[in-house]
Chains A and B, each alone.
Chain A
Amino acid sequence: MRITCPYCGARNLEEFTYRGDATVKRPDSLDESATEAWVDYVYLRKNPAGLHKEFWQHTGGCHAWLEVTRDTTTHEIVAVELASKGAEHKER
């Protein structure tokens, strides 16, 4: 497998480290009532057969965390984006 890092270009699989599902979102709430959201975030996964948005880090290169969209049945990669995209739009 080859992943095209937005900074470094297309590189072999062994340069990257996998983390998993990039669609889960860390809950903001620390309320007791947020238990379900936290269990979902930490433990539950859709694990689709098909397109999967997932985190990879270019550990053998620039150390950027990436959001890669990949088909889990063919390993075809359809999109690679920086995971930190949009940081400038977030509130400080």
Chain B
Amino acid sequence: MRYSLASLLTNALTGNRNWKPVWREPEPKPSYDVVIVGGGGHGLATAHYLAKEHGITNVAVIEKSYLGSGNVGRNTTIVRSNYLLPGNEPFYEWSMKLWEGLEQDLNYNAMVSQRGVLNVFHSDAQRDAFVRRGNAMRFNGADAELLDQEQVRALVPFVDFENARFPVRGGLYQARGGTVRHDAVVWGYARSADMRGVDIIQNCAATGFRIENGRITGVETERGFIGAKKVALSVAGSSSRVGEMAGLRLPIESHVLQAFVTEGIKPLLDTVITFGAGHFYCSQSDKGGLVFGGDIDGYNTYAQRGNLPVVEDVAEGGMALIPAIGRLRILRSWGGLLDMSMDGSPIIDQTHVEGLYFNGGWCYGGFKATPASGWCFAHLIATGQSHPFAAAYRFDRFASGRVIDEKGMGAQPNLH
């Protein structure tokens, strides 16, 4: 059913009784051309682009819980393409472009809100690093602006300019960045893939992979064996534990990133803002809550929860940047499991098992990457070739040393 103002009004007049399920709930078929493991944003986007861009529709997406139960429903909804390195920036800029056309592509309002992303800086050295990054963005056709203190003040007048331990000296601003309603991304991609014939199968955890003579032949699941010519893993956060079933040893650690939302308040913050002297980034949702986060907890974990030191650290960063939020109250905190890769950048590649494809290692960048990740992963699955935008996201970069290390932290995942 196509969504339109007319369909909304017609249904309202009939008591909203005629809306149909957004996706079917089919039984799994014995086999598919492609089985995508993981019904999160990336898996569903991959299914959508496989069907739409490559005409491959004999596809199943299997999800161990409910659709969107992983990181796509646990992030702080920020989208941006303010990356530095050649391996990253074209990919994230392509993602930004796909976000810009997403609603028309999906006929689903994911509330892509290009309200701007502001990274403030506090020193000359930090400014120079931001300038290098902003110029890399410009070189790649993305938008970037360098703001001085007064321009920052105009955007966010309540930031602490007078009494700060690390005074704000300016900022790098990407006007096209912003936020997207995360759950709507899941539902929109799922609806579109489903309408094109993709089977979406919830509550169907993969329990093993059938590999014969080095080639994948299907997935063992809680609901029986599902044969597949190709299997695509899209389970960031759990990549190591799922990959282990196929014999993968990955350059990845699982870490938890906490996020927070305050009670709803009338409009306060119109952009996304990131603190440069501590760990705090924040935007205000359309419902009115300030949505914010900070650093990862920093130890390997598969528990979707964090601990108090980081909660305090994030609140401290928030108060240092915006001392007006002291009386606003945190309503809820949660944790998402990240694939923290060894260089802080993702992987979209084939594996040593023929027909088994891998998508993971997204670190903090997973949500904003959703459309381009699906686009490039679909390309790889369909053609067997890396998409040019994801050409650097290969496993062999670790052995060769051609790592994509935005932060320059080296092979220690919790520092990225």
Binding site for B on A (CB under 8 A): 1, 12-14, 18-21, 35, 39-40, 42-49, 52, 54, 70, 72-75
Contacts and interface: CB of A to CB of B under 8 A. Distances in A.
B195 interface: no
Nearest to A36: B399
Interface in B223-265: 238, 240-241, 244, 249-254
B252 A45 contact: yes
B81 to A, nearest CB: 27
B399 A20 contact: no
Contact of B301 (A19, A20, A45, A72): A72
Given A1-B307, A20-B412, A20-B413, A72 B240 contact: no
B298 interface: yes
Nearest to B412: A20
Contact of B253 (A39, A45, A70): A45
Contacts of A44: 249-251, 398
B15 interface: no
B300 interface: yes
B282 interface: no
B353 interface: no
A46 B240 contact: yes
Nearest to A41: B411
B250 A45 contact: yes
B352 to A, nearest CB: 13
Interface residues of B, number: 26
Given A20-B412, A44-B249, A35 B309 contact: no
B309 A47 contact: no
Contacts, number: 71
Given A46-B249, A47-B240, A73-B301, 4 more contacts: A42-B411, A47-B250, A47-B253, A75-B303
A20 to B, nearest CB: 7
A20 B309 contact: no
A72 B413 contact: no
B286 to A, nearest CB: 35
Contact of A18 (B238, B250, B299, B303): B299
Nearest to A15: B309
Interface in B292-326: 298-303, 307-309
B307 A39 contact: no
The dominant DSSP class at the A interface is mixed
19 contacts: A18-B299, A19-B412, A20-B300, A21-B300, A39-B399, A42-B342, A42-B411, A43-B342, A43-B398, A43-B399, A44-B250, A44-B251, A45-B249, A47-B254, A49-B240, A49-B302, A54-B300, A72-B254, A73-B303
A74 B301 CA distance: 8
Interface centre among A42, A47, A48, A49, by most chain B C-beta atoms within 10 angstroms, is A47
Given A47-B254, A47-B300, A14 B240 contact: no
Interface string B271-300: 000000000000000000000000000111
Nearest to A38: B399
A14 B303 CA distance: 19
Contacts of A54: 299-300
B241, B252, B413 pick with most chain A CB within 10 angstroms:
B241
Contacts of B114: none
Contacts of A40: 249
A72 B305 CA distance: 11
A21 B251 CA distance: 12
Interface in B393-416: 398-399, 411-414
Contacts of A74: 303
A43 B252 CA distance: 8
A44 B308 CA distance: 29
A43 B251 contact: yes
Contacts of A73: 301-303
A66 B416 CA distance: 22
A39 to B, nearest CB: 5
